Amino acid sequence: MRLLMSLFAVLALSAQSTQQNWPQFRGSAALTGVASSLLPAQLKLLWTYEAGEPVESSAAIVNGVVYVGSQAGELLAIDLSTGKLRWKYKTKDPIADSSPAVANGVVYVGDLGGVVYAVNAADGKERWTFSTMSEVKASPVVVDGKVIIGSYDGHLYAITADKGKLAWSFKTNGPVHATAAVAGGIAYISGCDGVFRGIRIADGKQVVEITAGSYIGSSPVLSGDAAYFGTYDNEVLGMNLKARKIVWRYQHPTRKFPYSSSAAFIEGKVLIGGRDKMLHCLDAKTGKALWTFATRARIDSSPVVAGDRVYFGSNDGRVYAVSLTKGEKVWEYEAGEAISASPAIASGRLVIGSQDGRIYCFGS
């Protein structure tokens, strides 16, 4: 009986530990954008950190520490509870969209000079760097001992997580802006060359190729045998990975604008922000709109779901929370400058950066 109780305690601790972390862009390798940690019904600003330059990088939160990049060319480690700086690591060039991934005590991120960095999570000491041939805006995903990351040089790279050596690279026909979504040993990328690809992580061989026919800046979200993402041809696509085909296309009936935001998926719903200033909630089976929510400017921030609410930023300078079921606003905070970074949620707190150079933390 004592052994059984100990086992339950370990499992409970493990579940709690998982809940407290948001280890990479979109929270998980499938890029679902769904948080395990719930947020209080009424959020208040707990702290801000002055990064000095715009923050487009979305935070990772692991073991009570916020890791985020800035256009000042700094990777920052900030205490989640207090907002105090623990350490900062200077990169060679600004960090833009690339968002840190944390795995096994190491933080990985890319910069606009095309360099991928591995830094100790505990003290910010450099472990290794790896150079690509153009800027890196994609976020790293760490899986099977490899760091999977795209570059504007047109390649998807697999770099050994421990040594920073090239395991393989795959050449596409355009920049790789999107972050890879990973499931079943395959890294899926929605490419700027208009092709959706599945690359086997073990050896870098392509196993899926579906032509979308549009420039794609949105990272895909995976659910079972389906993938969803937006395009610069003003559409959101739903794909069947088994059949290897597009099963639906969504376009707003009157407002034709591109999608740069990456979608979240939960309970048969696809949620994505558009440059039409709206957050769209779509039926995952049919692609039909369930509701839309209008802001005052375009939405490049990728939405995150926590409980029955959807959280996201807008270029109108506000952070919003809307109900998942009806799309009605339940909370907003006006930061002032555009917010293109995506929220990170862990330990009952939401962290997001802004073009005003500040990092904001909300909770209760």
Question: What are the tens digits of pLDDT across the range 258-298?
Answer: 999 999 999 999 999 999 999 999 999 999 999 999 999 99
The residue-averaged pLDDT of 45-56 equals 98
Per-residue pLDDT band for 5 (boundaries 50, 70, 90) equals very low
Per-residue pLDDT band for 36 (boundaries 50, 70, 90) equals very high
pLDDT of 2 reads 41
According to DSSP H, which parts of the chain are helical?
Answer: 2-19
pLDDT of 35 reads 97
pLDDT of 12 reads 37
**Does the pLDDT value for residue 19 go beyond 80?**
no
Taking CB atoms within 8 Å and a gap of at least 24, the contacts of 73-82 are 73/111, 75/100, 75/107, 75/109, 75/117, 75/119, 75/124, 76/49, 76/51, 76/359, 77/107, 77/121, 77/124, 78/49, 78/359, 80/346, 80/347, 80/349, 80/351, 80/361, 82/47
pLDDT of 3 reads 36
pLDDT of 20 reads 81
Pairwise CA distance, residues 102 & 224, whole Å: 25
Per-residue pLDDT band for 200 (boundaries 50, 70, 90) equals very high
**Does the pLDDT value for residue 4 go beyond 90?**
no
What pTM does this model have?
A: 0.94
**Does the pLDDT value for residue 11 go beyond 50?**
no
pLDDT of 18 reads 41
**Does the pLDDT value for residue 15 go beyond 90?**
no
Question: What are the tens digits of pLDDT across the range 89-129?
Answer: 999 999 999 999 999 999 999 999 999 999 999 999 999 99
Question: What are the tens digits of pLDDT across the range 217-234?
Answer: 999 999 999 999 999 999
Number of Cβ within a 10 Å radius of residue 308: 13
Tokens standing for 9?
């305690």
Domains of the chain: 24-35+46-363 (2.130.10.10)
Question: What are the tens digits of pLDDT across the range 130-169?
Answer: 999 999 999 999 999 999 999 999 999 999 999 999 999 9
Question: What are the tens digits of pLDDT across the range 56-67?
Answer: 999 999 999 999
Tokens standing for 74?
């700094």
Per-residue pLDDT band for 13 (boundaries 50, 70, 90) equals very low
pLDDT of 170 reads 98
The residue-averaged pLDDT of 19-37 equals 94
The C-alpha R_g of the chain, in whole angstroms, comes to 19
The residue-averaged pLDDT of 83-88 equals 98
The residue-averaged pLDDT of 199-210 equals 98
Question: What are the tens digits of pLDDT across the range 229-258?
Answer: 999 999 999 999 999 999 999 999 999 999
**Does the pLDDT value for residue 346 go beyond 70?**
yes
Give the percent of the chain with pLDDT over 70. Answer: 95
pLDDT of 1 reads 40
Per-residue pLDDT band for 338 (boundaries 50, 70, 90) equals very high
